[in-house]
């Protein structure tokens, strides 16, 4: 090596580790696997499932008619519709259309939508019934309510209510947020 030249990194490293000896090999100890967690109540619940299914009380609400409905305006994502179907939005107003004529029901729905806009509500429930006592055995008002909601500018989405809120006999509607300076803003 030239006396005026600088040593390169490899030479410097070789000088630094020249007197170092490796540590002796020791057998490695591996910790035992963590015990599996077992929930005591979960096992009891699983054991009770079959007897409950075979001999438990039957709630008619558990067996909905399968006439669920949903609508989503353009720009509304599926997650919001899913949350609406699950009943995750607070229901801020509702109307029960049982016993009303088509004309009365249309007026009631329009009045609810107008009040929702004034109050700034985001979620409403419209109970139209399942039509079990109608002459045809089908809901008369359900399709009228759906059409009214689809035509309304303030409705972002609607879906059949979850069983605890009326099932296919009611609709939950998700409404637009109030416009700044418009109705519903204090």
The fold of the 78-175 domain, in CATH, is Ribosomal Protein S8; Chain: A, domain 1 (3.30.1370)
What is the rounded average pLDDT for all residues in the chain?
Answer: 79
Containing 126, the helix (H) or strand (E) segment is: strand 123-127
pTM above 0.85, yes or no: no
Of all residues in the chain, the percent with pLDDT exceeding 70 is 74
Indicate whether 104 pLDDT > 60. yes
Q: What is the pLDDT of residues 166-183, one digit of tens each?
A: 888 899 999 988 766 655
- The residue ranges of every structural domain in the chain are 78-175
pLDDT of residue 140: 75
Which whole number is the average pLDDT over 130-156? Answer: 81
pLDDT at 27: 78
Reported residue count of the chain is 186
Say whether pLDDT at 186 is over 50.
no
Instruction: Note the pLDDT of residue 2.
Output: 55
- What pLDDT is recorded for position 91? 92
Quote the CA–CA distance of 24 and 2 in Å, as a whole number: 39
Q: What are phi and psi of 100, to 5 degrees?
A: -90, 150
pLDDT digits (tens, 9 = 90+) for 53-88: 544 554 444 444 457 888 888 888 899 999 999 999
- Summarize pLDDT for 111-136 with one digit per residue, the tens: 999 999 999 999 999 998 887 777 77
pLDDT the model gives residue 64: 43
DSSP assignment of 1-66:
--TTSPPPHHHHHHHHTTT--PPPP-PPPPPPPPPPP--HHHHHHHHHHHHHHHHSPP-GGGS--S
Q: How confident is the model at residue 95 (pLDDT cuts 50, 70, 90)?
A: very high
CA-closest candidate to residue 130, choices 122, 121, 138? 138
């Amino acid at each position: 090596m030239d006396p005026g030249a600088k040593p390169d990194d490899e030479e410097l490293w070789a000088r630094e580790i020249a007197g170092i000896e490796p540590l002796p090999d020791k057998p490695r100890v591996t910790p035992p696997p963590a015990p599996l967690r077992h929930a005591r109540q979960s096992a009891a619940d699983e054991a009770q499932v079959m007897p409950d299914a075979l001999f438990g009380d039957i709630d008619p609400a558990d067996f909905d008619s399968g006439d669920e409905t949903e609508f989503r305006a353009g720009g509304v994502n599926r997650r919001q519709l899913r949350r609406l179907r699950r009943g995750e939005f607070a229901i801020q107003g509702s109307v029960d259309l049982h016993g009303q004529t088509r004309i009365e029901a249309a007026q009631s729905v329009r009045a609810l939508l107008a009040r929702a806009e004034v109050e700034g509500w985001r979620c409403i429930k419209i109970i139209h019934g399942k039509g079990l006592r109608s002459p045809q055995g089908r809901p008369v008002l359900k399709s009228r309510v759906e059409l009214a909601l689809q035509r309304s500018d303030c409705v972002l989405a609607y879906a059949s209510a979850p069983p605890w809120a009326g099932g296919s006999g009611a609709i939950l509607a998700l409404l637009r947020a109030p416009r700044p300076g418009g109705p519903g803003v204090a």
